[in-house]
């Protein structure tokens, strides 16, 4: 069996009049993430990690912000397409470890739903999808509540 590891990162600016969606969960908050799609930084970081494991570029290559087709897209649908792409090449996700960095809101109450959403789309067990949340200790743009970022590592096997 062959294995590969990919890592991913994404960050989006917080703005008013946008929903806050992380891991496919709409989280009550006064601000949301700005982006061409739903701006789900967690799902975007996971997709980039999956693509990176196979040296297939990044999500901007497959879902360019210049294409109106992807405006407001549900990132879980995009994740499903990335999963199909890697499966067509004979690979499958073994596990995911990820972290969302945000000062507010508190994400702990939503972690299990995020894990469940991601696991369902990827045909994994929830214990194969790690999602953690932390703050940036009020440092930098994330710490100043200007944005939210996420990091992900994905193991794939084939």
Q: What is the pLDDT of residues 39-51, one digit of tens each?
A: 999 999 999 999 9
Report the alpha-carbon distance of residue 11 to residue 14 in Å, rounded.
10
Checking if the pLDDT of 147 tops 90, the result is yes
Looking at residue 103, its pLDDT comes to 97
3-state secondary structure of 105: coil
The number of helix segments (H) and strand segments (E) in the chain equals 5, 7
| CB contact at 8 A, 151 and 48 | no
pLDDT digits (tens, 9 = 90+) for 57-66: 999 999 998 9
Q: Could you tell me how many residues make up the chain? A: 158
pTM above 0.95, yes or no: yes
- pLDDT of 1 reads 83
Two tokens at 125?
A: 């067990």
Q: What angle do CA 141, 142, 147 make, to 5 degrees?
A: 90
- Supply the DSSP symbol for 65: T
The reported pLDDT for the residue numbered 4 is 98
Phi and psi at 80, nearest 5°, equal: -60, -40
CA distance 69 to 90: 28
* pLDDT tens per residue across span 85-127: 999 999 999 999 999 999 999 999 999 999 999 999 999 999 9
According to the model, what pLDDT value does residue 49 have?
Answer: 98
Q: According to DSSP H, which parts of 38-148 are helical? A: 41-53, 59-62, 75-88, 111-122, 140-143
Dihedral sign for Cα atoms in the order 61, 64, 75, 31: positive
Return mean pLDDT, the chain: 97
């Amino acid at each position: 069996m062959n294995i590969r590891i990919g890592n991913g990162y994404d960050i989006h600016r917080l703005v008013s009049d946008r929903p806050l969606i992380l891991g496919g969960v709409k989280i009550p908050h006064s601000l949301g993430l700005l982006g061409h799609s739903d701006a789900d930084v967690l799902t975007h970081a996971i997709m980039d990690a999956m693509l990176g494991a196979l040296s297939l570029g990044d999500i901007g290559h497959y879902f360019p912000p210049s294409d109106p087709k992807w405006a407001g897209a549900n990132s879980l649908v995009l994740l499903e397409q990335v999963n199909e792409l890697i499966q067509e090449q004979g690979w499958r996700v073994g596990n995911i470890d990820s972290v969302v960095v945000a000062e507010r809101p508190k994400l702990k109450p939503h972690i299990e739903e995020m894990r469940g959403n991601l696991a369902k789309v990827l045909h994994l067990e929830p214990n194969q999808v790690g999602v953690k949340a932390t703050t940036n200790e009020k440092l930098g743009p994330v710490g100043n509540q200007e944005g939210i970022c996420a990091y992900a590592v994905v193991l794939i096997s084939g």
